[in-house]
Structure 1
Amino acid sequence: MSVRTARRPRTALWTTAAAVTVLVLLGMLVANGVVWPNRILAARYDVRGVDVAHYQGEIDWDVLAAQDLDFAWIKATEGASHTDPRFAANWADAMKTDLLVGAYHFMSFESPGADQAAHLASEVPATAGTLPPVIDLEFYGDYFDDHPTPDQVHAILDPLVAGIEEHYGAAPIVYATGEAYDLYLADRYPALPIWIRSVAWAPRLSDGRDWTVWQYSNRDRLPGYDGVEPYIDMNVFAGTREELAALALD
């Protein structure tokens, strides 16, 4: 075997090893929230915000609001009876900042939509100037593997939407993962603004619909909170701050 032919497989081996090492390092940086490709894509949108729950622990809203943020949606309720233990404090303190503030409800597949709407209404005041409530539609628990049928979800979602519209005088925004959107929202509910989760690439809804809010990262870190969850969700709005404010309750 000549020297020249011996070098070729050795060079290819080192090249492959180097490429694998780079990919592993990049994967670790992404996993730890150091590198996030979507941040580049989301940077073209000027209106940024967060969504939070009790997992972020006690939040210093003055510090958090100073991080070039425009809005925050705060978890309020889940299902027909659960209230986020940090909601009242988060709501009161966030309202003292210049952020546009709204509440979100985590939709359960196990209780009637009308009961869930009533629970949300009992916990979240219909305050003029606050952002419309959000329905968080995503899988949880065993439902990751065993999805509810569209008919089952619509039987809950329809009265939930109607109850929110009646109580708050505004259509809710619906947050969904891409899979949940395709199963339950595509080509339906044309009057509802969509908040889409897409943390790996820029969102493109399967039915060609425009999104209103995009959750582009679930692994950011910002000063101002200290909970069991070290990361915070980051979002952008497809418009100006004035256009977002125009969605607020009357």
Structure 2
Amino acid sequence: MADLFGFRPSNALGALVYKGAATGFLINKAFLSLDKNTYIPPSPPIINSSKILRHEKQERFMSTIKKGIDLSHFQGDIDFKKVFEAGIEYAFIKTTEGATVQDNKYTTYRTDARAVGIKTGAYHYFRALSSSPEAQRDNIVSTLTAADFDASTEFFAIDAELEGNEKATPDEMADNLHKLLTLLDNEKILNSKKPFIYCDNNFWMNHILGEKYAFSEYPLWIANWDVSEPKVPASWEVAGKSWSIWQHSNKGRIAGIEVDVDLNWVRT
């Protein structure tokens, strides 16, 4: 609608009509005439309440989380001072896999990260069939003990993924994962702290019989990339629990690391 005498009429006043030579508003069938001295205030701005709510939600979210990364030897040499200066506060480092593998960068990464003030954690890549839960427990405990792992300040997680576990049935995945977690519950090196379970929702729902055990007793590290909110597996959702760590990207670029790195939000 064109401006009237330099002002844009407010739609709240009523319909703009023309009556002979007069111009005015028709309000409840009554004609209100206007002259050139009549001031009509501009319409108030339309406030997008959904955007405000999203902004407030984002602010609350950002006030309760910290930035983290997870690493393995694939990241090569790392300048942890630059990583810390980039705002990274947590680094989760691969320590072991199956019964016999130790990541050759674990000790170096852990030492260098802690030296600049980055909090550290460790994770074990779970093998459902090629290694027994007992043998994996032994590999984890001996490696963490040699590194002087401190459960009072460090996280530990079991990484459950499809790669390397393609032949395991959902029952076998659930049974052997639960067995390993139960074995670790009794290990002094973890100081009675429950390990995190790392997984993505699709893998968990299709390849692990999650309802067979109370996996929700363990904190969830969920992988769900490039989404505004992660999908939490039913094992945690039905128990009224959410994620503790969210791996939100596998294509992060961080100063001090020359290749892509996984990015995480850590709830504190």
- Whether the TM-score (by the shorter chain) exceeds 0.5 is yes
Give, in whole Å, the separation in 1 of the partners of 2:118 and 2:209: 29
Q: How does 1:1-250 map to 2 (within 5 A)?
A: 44-45=61-62, 46-109=65-128, 110-125=130-145, 126-141=149-164, 143=166, 146=167, 148-167=168-187, 168=190, 169-183=192-206, 184=208, 186-187=210-211, 188-201=214-227, 202-207=229-234, 208=237, 209-226=241-258, 230-238=259-267, 240=268
Compare the two structures and name the one with the higher strand fraction: 2
Give, in whole Å, the separation in 1 of the partners of 2:226 and 2:183: 34
Give, in whole Å, the separation in 2 of the partners of 1:195 and 1:179: 14
Deviations, residues 48-83 of structure 1 (Å, cap 9, x unaligned): 100000000011112112211121100000000001
Give, in whole Å, the separation in 1 of the partners of 2:169 and 2:253: 36
1:9: which partner in 2? none
The answer as to whether partners of 1:164 and 1:170 remain within 8 angstroms in 2 is: no
The answer as to whether partners of 1:136 and 1:176 remain within 8 angstroms in 2 is: yes
Q: Aligned letter for 1:154?
A: A
- Kindly indicate whether structure 1 or structure 2 has the higher relative contact order, using CA contacts under 8 Å at least 6 residues apart: 1
% identical equivalent positions: 27
Give, in whole Å, the separation in 1 of the partners of 2:205 and 2:159: 15
| Cα distance change, pair 119–42 in 1 and its aligned pair in 2 (3 A) | farther
Compare the two structures and name the one with the higher helix fraction: 1
Deviations, residues 151-200 of structure 1 (Å, cap 9, x unaligned): 21123212211232222121100000222222427443121000010003
The answer as to whether partners of 2:171 and 2:209 remain within 8 angstroms in 1 is: no
Name structure 1 gaps, 5 residues minimum.
1-40, 241-250
Give, in whole Å, the separation in 1 of the partners of 2:58 and 2:90: 15
Name structure 2 gaps, 5 residues minimum.
1-56
Q: Aligned letter for 1:221?
A: R
Q: Aligned letter for 2:131?
A: S
SS of 1:216's partner is: strand
2:25: which partner in 1? none
Cα RMSD of the aligned pairs, angstroms, is: 2.1
Q: Aligned letter for 2:114?
A: M
SS of 2:247's partner is: strand
Q: Aligned letter for 1:204?
A: K
SS of 1:133's partner is: strand
